[in-house]
Amino acid sequence: MSMSDGMLRVPRAFFIIFEKRTYAMKTLQKTFAAMIAGVSLVAGASAASAQTTFTPGEAIKASGTLNQSLLGTDATVCAVTFHGHVLGDAAGNVTGFKFDSYEGTQTGGDGDLACDNSIQFDANDVTANFVSATQLNVPHILISTRLGSCEGTNITLDWSNPSVTFPVGTIIDPVCQFDGTLTVSAE
């Protein structure tokens, strides 16, 4: 390196080395990005498969007991059955469940919350998508109550084939609280 006329002069060899290192770093970045994408695809396939015995498109029902309350008041125990079908990807992996109707009856509790008509099924129905082999995510749900609507996004549920569990204290804003386990089976 030399300095003349107030300008720093850098030998051409420096740029060649710099260009090779920059190229090597870009290649390394692309390699790591490809590796991460590959791992993500494998993880995604594992989550999609989620250790189910179902096939995409299959009619299913999810039956069991849900405990519901309005933040601890009006505790109502419901026996419910949701009806829907299995979702899948192009490779035939199970990716989740889509429900379009349900029925229920009160089986206990000192409250009188609706067990059979409070969930609003919109154009997208209610879906539960696998995010791992042990968890589902409900992207959106709308529930009508006497205190107004409860609307939730990204509700996490636990999965243990063939059971889906609303963990104790699952809250759908602003006041709806749930817990309970449903067993998923062929319709």
**Which residue range forms the structural domain that includes residue 15?**
2-49
Domain membership of residue 11 (yes or no) is: yes
Residue-level pLDDT at 123: 60
Residue the block writes with tokens 């740029």: 15
SS3 assignment, position 66: strand
Question: Is 97 found in the same domain as 45?
Answer: no
Question: Is 113 found in the same domain as 25?
Answer: no
Show the low-confidence residues of the chain (pLDDT under 70). 1-51, 122-124
Query: Environment class of residue 46 by beta-carbon count within 10 Å: exposed (0-12), middle (13-18) or buried (19+)?
Result: middle
Domain count, the chain: 2
Closest Cα to residue 40, out of 116, 132, 106? 132
Question: Is 63 found in the same domain as 42?
Answer: no
Distance CA 145, CA 176 (A): 8
Q: Is the peptide bond before 56 cis (omega within 30 degrees of 0)?
A: no
- Quick one: how far is CA 41 from the chain centroid? 16
Question: Is 68 found in the same domain as 156?
Answer: yes
Question: Is 138 found in the same domain as 109?
Answer: yes
Residue-level pLDDT at 125: 80
Distance CA 178, CA 165 (A): 10
Distance CA 54, CA 34 (A): 31
Domain membership of residue 54 (yes or no) is: no
Question: Is 103 found in the same domain as 29?
Answer: no
Question: Is 83 found in the same domain as 20?
Answer: no
Residue-level pLDDT at 147: 81
